[in-house]
Amino acid sequence: MTTLSHTDQTDSGAFWRGKRVVVTGGAGFLGSFVVDRLRARGAEEIIVPRSHEYNLVDNAAARRLVADARPDIILHLAARVGGIGANREHPADFFYANLMMGVQLLHEAWRAGVEKFVTIGTVCSYPKFTPVPFKEEDLWNGYPEETNAPYGIAKKALLVQGQTYREQYGFNSIFLLPVNLYGPGDNFDPSSSHVIPAIIRKCLEARDAGADEIIAWGDGSPTREFVYAEDTAAGIVLAAERYNGSEPVNLGSNSEISIRELTELIARLTGFQGQITWDTSQPNGQPRRKLDVSRARDWFGFEASTPFEDGLRKTIDWYERVRHGV
């Protein structure tokens, strides 16, 4: 069992000094916050590969990236992700792309002698009916919620890979499980966005159009936990510095809200005053999501700090500026 002996409390500046760090997905939503956090913690040599140069689904590209970058640490954030609709439409694409990117890059990192590999998993890996709060030891006690199971299982396979490479080769690979993210820079494309940006966009567009109704998916009863992306980035960087164990670790905010309450809150914050109609022909997704975040706190000192309503306001303000070209 992992204990506090796996925690390295060295000064962050000293830890990152002179290290070459690859952040896959570093130009994306979460990745951009991670890169900023790395710089703030003293990292100077950060490599952010772009998909048009290194398509990590291709093994030759993964091998070439490791050879070109010569990293000491890899933070693997690159993923193909989306909301319930995107997962239902592209289950095979989500499974294949996420599995192959991670499996090949971790293998090539081990072959090249990379010091540490940090895999970012997903809360979608948890069983559909996991006792709340979700504890890491419950990860294998059932099948994930069907609409995002291919994505969740592909990510969970990378946990097994990291554990087996540690067991057989002594490779230092860790695995982190963030809950649903939100924040400035999120994906607001209605065909692939997650629930918070989808609701924000619907409310703002309805408000500006003078519409008296928005349609929300499901019945509003499921609950979710959300963590501000900037907080998650802080947790990832802390884990890279301080955690060297084989057990997966949740990253969350330790709060829970129903989709109905969330939609009403966003409507209030955006100024939409019309009716919310629930389309129960659409799926609810997993019934409840709330993580046990004690491992992250105890093992490497991470606790999310952004109050949910404050984070929502920042996200809405950012998207308003983007919409109006400010």
Q: What is the pLDDT of residues 141-162, one digit of tens each?
A: 999 999 889 999 999 999 999 9
**CATH of residue 106:** 3.40.50.720
pLDDT at 10 over 80: no
* Res. 7: pLDDT tops 50: no
What per-residue confidence (pLDDT) applies to 4? 37
Residue 5's pLDDT is 35
pLDDT for the residue numbered 285 = 84
Dihedral sign computed on CA atoms, order 159, 162, 5, 114: negative
| The pLDDT of residue 11 | 64
Q: How many domains does the chain have?
A: 1
Question: Which one is catalytic: 54, 126, 143, 151?
Answer: 151
Residue 3: pLDDT band with limits 50, 70, 90: very low
Q: In what order do the strands lie in the sheet with 20-24?
A: 45-47, 20-24, 73-76, 116-120, 173-178, 249-251
In whole angstroms, give the CA distance from residue 249 to residue 163: 13
Residue 49 is assigned to a structural domain of this protein: yes
- Catalytic residue check, 165: no
Question: Tens digit of pLDDT for each residue in 237-251?
Answer: 999 999 999 999 999
Is 82 domain-assigned?
yes
Higher pLDDT, 173 or 194: 173
Segments forming the whole domain that contains residue 248: 4-185+226-256+286-306
pLDDT digits (tens, 9 = 90+) for 60-101: 999 999 999 999 999 999 998 777 777 788 899 999 999 999
| Three-state SS annotation for the chain | CCCHHHECCCCHHHHHCCCEEEEECCCCHHHHHHHHHHHHCCCCEEECCCCCCCCCCCHHHHHHHHHHHCCCEEEECCCCCCCHHHHHHCHHHHHHHHHHHHHHHHHHHHHHCCCEEEEECCHHHCECCCCCCECHHHCCCCCECHHHHHHHHHHHHHHHHHHHHHHHHCCCEEEEEECEEECCCCCCCCCCCCHHHHHHHHHHHHHHHCCCEEEEECCCCCEECEEEHHHHHHHHHHHHHHECCCCCEEECCCCCEEHHHHHHHHHHHHCCCCEEEEECCCCCCCCCCCECCHHHHHHHCCCCCCCHHHHHHHHHHHHHHHHCCC
Residue 178 lies in a domain: yes
Task: Give me the residue label for tokens 């989709």.
Answer: 259
Position 21 in a domain: yes
Is residue 175 one of the residues assigned to a domain?
yes
**Would residue 180 count as lying in a domain?**
yes
Q: Is residue 218 part of a domain?
A: no
The Cα 121–Cα 144 span in angstroms is: 14
Classify residue 292: in a domain, yes or no. yes
Residues facing 313 on adjacent strands: none
Spell out a b/e string for 99-130, using b for 16 or more CB atoms within 10 Å of the CB, else e: bbbbbbbbbbbbeeebebbbbbbbbbbbbbeb
- Look at residue 190 in the predicted model and tell me its pLDDT: 86
Once rounded to an integer, what is the mean pLDDT over residues 165-185? Answer: 97
CB 266 within 8 A of CB 200: yes
- At 203, the pLDDT band (50, 70, 90 cuts) reads very high
Place of tokens 């955006």: 270
Average of per-residue pLDDT values in the chain: 94
